[in-house]
Amino acid sequence: MSEANRFGSGPVQSAGSWHKYFFTGAVVLLCLWVLVPIYLLLVNTFSSPEAVASYPKKAFPVVDTESLKFFMNYAGVGQALWNSIKVATVTMILSISAGAPAGYALSRFDFRGKDTFRVLVLMTRAFPLPLLALPLAVMYIRVGLDDSVLGLAFVHTTLALPFAVLITYSLFSGIPIELEEAAWTLGCNRFQAFMKVIFPLVLPGIAASAIFAFVISWNEVFAAAVLTIENRTLPAFLLQGLSDSPLHLKFAGGAVLVLPALLFIFMVRKYLFSMWGIANR
Footprint (CB under 8 A) of another protein, residues 60-89: none
Shortest distance (Å) from residue 92 CB to another protein: 14
What CA–CA distance (Å, rounded) separates 216 from 92? 9
Q: Which of residues 180-209 bind another protein (CB under 8 A)?
A: 181-190, 192, 196-197, 200-201
Measured from the CB atom, the residue of 78 and 101 that comes closer to another protein is: 101
- 50, 53, 69, 195: residue in contact with another protein (rule CB under 8 A): 53
Segment interacting with another protein (CB under 8 A) among 38-46, 63-71, 73-81, 85-93 = 38-46
- Closest approach, Cβ 73 to another protein, in A, equals 19
- For 70, 74, 99, 234, the CA distances from 78, given in Å and listed in that order, are 12, 8, 31, 9
List the interface residues with another protein, window 206-245 (CB under 8 A): 215, 218-222, 225-226, 235, 238-239, 242-243
Residues between 99 and 158 that touch another protein (CB under 8 A): 99, 101-102, 104-106, 108-109, 111, 113-114, 117, 120-121, 124-132, 134-139, 154-155, 157-158
Cβ-Cβ contacts under 8 Å for 248 (sequence gap 6 or more): 44, 47, 49, 52, 53, 67, 70, 71
Q: Please provide the size of the chain in residues.
A: 281
Nearer to another protein (CB atom), residue 63 or residue 138: 138
Q: 195: which DSSP letter?
A: I
By CB under 8 A, name the one of 21, 35, 174, 195 that touches another protein.
Answer: 35
* Residue 211 parent element (H or E): helix 199-219
Candidate list 46, 71, 163, 251; residue touching another protein; CB under 8 A: 251
Kind and range of the H or E element at 25? helix 17-45
Least distance between another protein and beta carbon 86 (Å): 17
Query: At 112, which helix (H) or strand (E)?
Result: none
Whether 74 and 143 have beta carbons less than 8 Å apart is answered as no
Judged by CB, which is closer to another protein: 40, or 72? 40
Stretch near another protein under the rule CB under 8 A, chosen from 62-70, 73-81, 85-93, 254-262: 254-262
Interatomic CA distance for residues 161 and 154, integer angstroms: 10
Q: With contacts defined by CB under 8 A, how many residues of the chain interact with another protein?
A: 122
DSSP 8-state assignment for residue 126: G
Q: Which strand (E) or helix (H) includes residue 169?
A: helix 149-173
Report the alpha-carbon distance of residue 71 to residue 206 in Å, rounded: 34
In the complex, what is the shortest distance from the CB of residue 78 to another protein, in angstroms, rounded to a whole number? 19
Exactly one of 9, 16, 60, 144 binds another protein (CB under 8 A); which one? 9
